[in-house]
């Protein structure tokens, strides 16, 4: 696993061994950033269920203003800290170790939100509901959901959000854009 582009391009990132996290593949990560390439510079990023922190790191490498990486696992948070340090991004990425709902209910606004929870959980639905009810996505902001292709996402208000999906084998990327007021 590596940083694909930007100021930290080529930097190798660590990931936890075992089944505790499931890192986004380089192919899917490259696709994500191709989709949002014009929507990342100077943006505030939230990486929920961050695992290794690679999505937050890639966003900062490509010019995002700041990022918060949220991870419940102490071991994963330690890996994120090491990866941030190896890229020199300590001033740009903050780690929140704890429950994702704590961050979503604080009301801070983000321009890009990455959602990649464990596939066999209901956390994606709960996350989307909290993002919408606490209105933490800025106008014109983007949510990128990575799920197993069998997962059915809840549909948020069609007056507020526009959906687009991309399939990569068994991985489904759903890009949700909040419409401008």
Segment 24-54, tens digit of pLDDT? 777 888 999 999 999 999 999 999 999 999 9
pLDDT of residue 161: 94
Instruction: Inform me whether the pLDDT recorded for 146 exceeds 80.
Output: yes
Quick check: is 8 in a domain? no
Q: Which CATH number do you get for residue 81?
A: 3.40.50.150
Instruction: Inform me whether the pLDDT recorded for 21 exceeds 70.
Output: no
- Contact between 21 and 76 under an 8 Å Cβ cutoff? The reply is yes
Q: Which domain holds residue 99?
A: 26-178
* 118: alpha, beta or left? (left if phi > 0; alpha if psi -120 to 50): beta
**DSSP codes, 114-163:** EE---TTSSHHHHHHHHHHHTT-EEEEEEEEEEEETT--PPPPPTTTEEE
Quick check: is 149 in a domain? yes
Look at the chain and report how many structural domains it folds into.
1
- Contact between 60 and 34 under an 8 Å Cβ cutoff? The reply is no
Segment 65-102, tens digit of pLDDT? 999 999 999 999 999 999 999 999 999 999 999 999 99
């Amino acid at each position: 696993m590596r940083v694909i582009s930007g100021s930290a391009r080529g930097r190798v990132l660590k990931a936890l061994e075992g089944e505790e996290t499931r890192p986004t593949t380089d192919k899917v990560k490259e696709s994500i950033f191709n989709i949002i390439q014009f929507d990342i510079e100077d943006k505030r990023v939230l990486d929920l269920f961050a695992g290794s922190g690679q999505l937050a790191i890639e966003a900062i490498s490509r010019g995002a203003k700041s990022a918060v990486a949220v991870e419940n696992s102490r071991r994963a948070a330690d890996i994120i800290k090491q990866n941030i340090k190896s890229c020199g991004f300590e001033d740009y990425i903050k780690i929140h170790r704890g429950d994702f709902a704590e961050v979503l209910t604080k009301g801070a606004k983000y321009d890009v939100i990455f959602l990649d929870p464990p596939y066999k959980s209901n956390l994606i639905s709960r996350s989307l509901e909290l993002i919408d009810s606490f209105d933490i996505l800025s106008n014109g902001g983007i949510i990128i959901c990575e799920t197993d292709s069998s997962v059915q996402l809840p549909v948020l208000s069609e007056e507020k959000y526009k959906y687009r999906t991309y399939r990569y084998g068994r991985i489904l990327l759903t890009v949700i854009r909040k419409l401008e007021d």
